């Protein structure tokens, strides 16, 4: 989801300093930036070989770039593990800003969630949030994050199930959609369509599958 060159350069830089710190006294430790970049290139090649070999399966699983021209832009989550003040929030915001340029109308991310101890945006977010035009930014208190994620996952599951049902011309409900239909006991097709329309309107999401 982030430019590969930028990601490698940043990671190599971080690893350089960490390894230098831990292995400064180890004369037998042979490390260089070029060696690491070569190893990363080898890993890229291995992943590319598996990708080509399993292309159809992976495409069906929707593990694919948003467009052939934007191979770095994938529909998924990238985790950044680093100490406080190392630029994690800055990097995520920059990624969101880059991704919103991929589509003139729709956001790549519907929602960008910022987790904080205070439950409020920090100075980094407040400084750069105006650049994020297409995605909604929300702040969740870290002690409430897991409960929030569970509720949001339920909404995403229902939203995707409804869209899948619509795309099948209301003929092939998946397990989640079948649960909804059994729970609601619609008297007729018109009532079912009214429920679906109101539900989608309340979500007000543009992407499917939801991101």
Q: What is the pLDDT of residues 12-35, one digit of tens each?
A: 445 445 544 544 444 444 556 678
Q: Give residue 198's region: left, alpha or beta (phi > 0; psi -120 to 50).
A: alpha
Is residue 165 within 8 Å of residue 177, measured between CB atoms? yes
Q: Burial-class residue 91 by CB neighbours within 10 Å (0-12, 13-18, 19+).
A: middle
Q: pTM for this one?
A: 0.59
- What pLDDT score was predicted for residue 59? 62
What does the pLDDT look like over 127-174, one tens digit per residue? 999 998 888 999 999 899 999 999 999 999 999 999 999 999 999 999
- What pLDDT score was predicted for residue 193? 93
What does the pLDDT look like over 31-84, one tens digit per residue? 566 787 887 788 888 878 887 887 776 665 554 455 555 555 555 555 677 777
Q: Which phi and psi (to 5°) does residue 62 adopt?
A: 65, 25
């Amino acid at each position: 989801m982030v430019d590969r060159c930028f990601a490698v350069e940043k990671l190599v830089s971080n690893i350089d300093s960490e390894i230098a710190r831990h292995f400064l006294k180890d004369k037998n430790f042979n490390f260089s930036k070029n060696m690491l970049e070569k190893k990363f290139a080898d890993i890229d090649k291995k992943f590319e070989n598996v990708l080509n070999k399993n292309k159809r399966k992976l495409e069906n699983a929707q593990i694919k770039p948003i467009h052939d021209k934007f191979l770095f832009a994938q529909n998924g989550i990238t985790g950044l593990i680093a100490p406080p003040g190392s630029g994690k929030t800055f990097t995520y915001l920059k990624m969101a800003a880059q991704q919103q340029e991929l589509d003139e109308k729709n956001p790549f991310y519907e929602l960008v969630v910022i987790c904080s101890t205070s439950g409020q945006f920090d100075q980094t977010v407040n400084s750069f949030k105006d650049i994020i035009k297409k995605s909604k930014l929300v702040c969740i208190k870290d002690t409430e994050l897991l409960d929030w994620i569970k509720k949001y996952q339920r909404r995403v599951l229902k939203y995707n199930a409804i869209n899948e049902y619509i795309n099948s011309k209301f003929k092939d409900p998946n397990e989640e959609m079948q649960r909804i239909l059994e729970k609601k006991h619609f008297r007729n097709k018109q009532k079912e369509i009214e429920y679906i329309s109101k539900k989608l309107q309340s979500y007000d999401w543009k992407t499917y599958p939801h991101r």
